[in-house]
């Protein structure tokens, strides 16, 4: 019969009696399988042997080329110059990673220079815009005003910022600043005469020194103990707040002194009412001086040298210094 493994006619022997078997089919006996596996192993070993020889030959060839290249570099003999010439003409093909890093550095450098110019321009614009504010801080904003003794001092004040009752008690002031209006403050002026100041609007928040003084003359007869003055702060949507208030008594002291031979001018006994204090003021606080509601409204002398009102910034707010701008 024909063996399925060896693909040729073979004689099959029975395992029991050793006689030739006829009329049977081949079932891939173990004997044939063993022979087939052994030949297969020999074939694999031969392939591995040939591949090892080939790899060894390639390694030796590469090693020889490297040794030749090292010797040529030591002798300063450029081997393969013709092959390297084409590569050197196109450095991007030889060092692609270095060219990429170089382009990244150039791009970062351009971006850094552009950002630096933007920062410098912004700083210059900010400095220019806030130069006036910095100058006001360094010069410690202050204002000093003197009493207005003209005929208009008895006229009714026309300004809707104040109530009807307050208009009859406010003091008018003349500015003493040669650079009036002072950019460090805003003024609340009389409607009929814009040169007369009624109040000061705060534009630089911080700790302020506030002072004021008035001169009073008592009644000609009788007594009137309620002669006084008060400094008031007004904030938006809030009622007026009295910061300072002072009184003096002038009972029956309003009559004139007898004239002396050396002095023909009529003189009267007067008193000074003054006060001073430090207060934390916010943006848009309005500061003004008025006569208290419990005080008499007569005989207040508006002598400029003796009646005055002023304030000075002692300590600006930290937030104002950091932000470098006013209200």
In the chain, what is the straight-line distance between the N-terminal and C-terminal CA atoms, in Å?
Answer: 116
User: Which range among 23-37, 220-234, 282-296, 299-313 shows the weakest confidence by mean pLDDT?
Assistant: 23-37
Residue 142: per-residue pLDDT: 87
Instruction: Render pLDDT for 290-318 as a digit per residue (tens, 0 to 9).
Output: 998 888 766 788 888 889 999 998 888 76
Confidence of residue 90 (pLDDT cuts 50, 70, 90): low
Residue matched to tokens 């089919």: 25
Query: What's the mean per-residue pLDDT of the chain?
Result: 75
* Structure token digits, residue 66: 């490297």
- Measured CA to CA in angstroms, residue 245 lies from 140, 212, 214, 227 at distances of 26, 10, 12, 11
Highest mean pLDDT among 22-36, 48-62, 140-154: 48-62
What would the DSSP string read from start to end of 57-80?
HHHHHHHHHHHHHHHHHHTT--TT
270: which strand partners?
A: 217
Instruction: Render pLDDT for 44-84 as a digit per residue (tens, 0 to 9).
Output: 888 888 888 888 888 888 888 888 777 776 665 454 454 54
- Measure the CA–CA gap between 320 and 133, rounded to whole angstroms: 10
Instruction: Render pLDDT for 174-209 as a digit per residue (tens, 0 to 9).
Output: 887 766 777 778 888 887 777 888 999 998 888 999
Residue 51: per-residue pLDDT: 81
Q: What percent of the chain has pLDDT over 70?
A: 63
Asked whether residue 273 carries a pLDDT value surpassing 80, the answer given is yes
247: which strand partners?
A: 228
Reported pTM: 0.55
Average pLDDT of the residues in 20-29: 53
Question: Nearest Cα to 316, choosing from 109, 121, 133, 180?
Answer: 133
Residue 232: per-residue pLDDT: 95
User: Which range among 104-118, 147-161, 204-218 shows the weakest confidence by mean pLDDT?
Assistant: 147-161
Asked whether residue 324 carries a pLDDT value surpassing 80, the answer given is no
- Measure the CA–CA gap between 228 and 215, rounded to whole angstroms: 10
Confidence of residue 93 (pLDDT cuts 50, 70, 90): low
- Measured CA to CA in angstroms, residue 45 lies from 31, 49, 56 at distances of 22, 6, 16
């Amino acid at each position: 019969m024909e063996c399925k493994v060896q693909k040729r006619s073979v004689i099959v022997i029975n395992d029991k009696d050793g006689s030739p078997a006829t009329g049977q089919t081949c079932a891939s006996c173990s004997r044939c399988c063993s022979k087939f596996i052994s030949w297969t192993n020999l074939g694999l070993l031969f392939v591995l042997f040939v591949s090892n020889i080939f790899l060894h030959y390639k390694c030796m060839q590469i090693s020889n080329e490297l040794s030749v290249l090292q010797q040529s570099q030591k002798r300063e003999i450029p081997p393969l110059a013709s092959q390297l010439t084409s590569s050197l003409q196109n450095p991007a093909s030889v060092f692609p990673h270095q060219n990429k890093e170089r382009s990244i550095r150039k791009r970062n450098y351009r971006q850094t220079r552009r950002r630096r110019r933007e920062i410098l321009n912004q700083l210059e614009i900010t400095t220019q815009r806030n130069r006036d504010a910095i100058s006001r801080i360094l010069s410690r904003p202050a204002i000093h005003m003197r009493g207005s003794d003209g005929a208009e001092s008895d006229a009714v004040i026309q300004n809707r910022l104040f109530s009807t009752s307050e208009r009859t008690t406010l003091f008018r002031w003349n500015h003493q600043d040669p650079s009036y209006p002072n950019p460090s403050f805003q003024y609340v002026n009389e409607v009929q005469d814009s040169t007369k100041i009624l109040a000061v609007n705060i534009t630089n928040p911080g700790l302020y020194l506030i002072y004021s003084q008035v001169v009073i003359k008592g009644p000609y007869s009788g007594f009137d103990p309620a002669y006084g003055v008060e400094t008031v702060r007004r904030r938006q949507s809030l009622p007026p707040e009295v910061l300072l208030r002072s009184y003096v008594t002038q009972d029956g002291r309003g009559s004139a002194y007898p004239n002396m031979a050396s002095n023909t001018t009529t003189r009267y006994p007067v008193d000074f009412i003054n006060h001073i204090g430090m207060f934390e003021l916010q943006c848009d606080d309005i500061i003004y001086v008025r006569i208290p509601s419990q005080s008499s409204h007569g005989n207040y002398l508006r002598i400029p040298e003796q009646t005055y009102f002023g304030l000075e910034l002692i300590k600006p707010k930290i937030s104002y210094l950091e932000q470098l701008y006013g209200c």
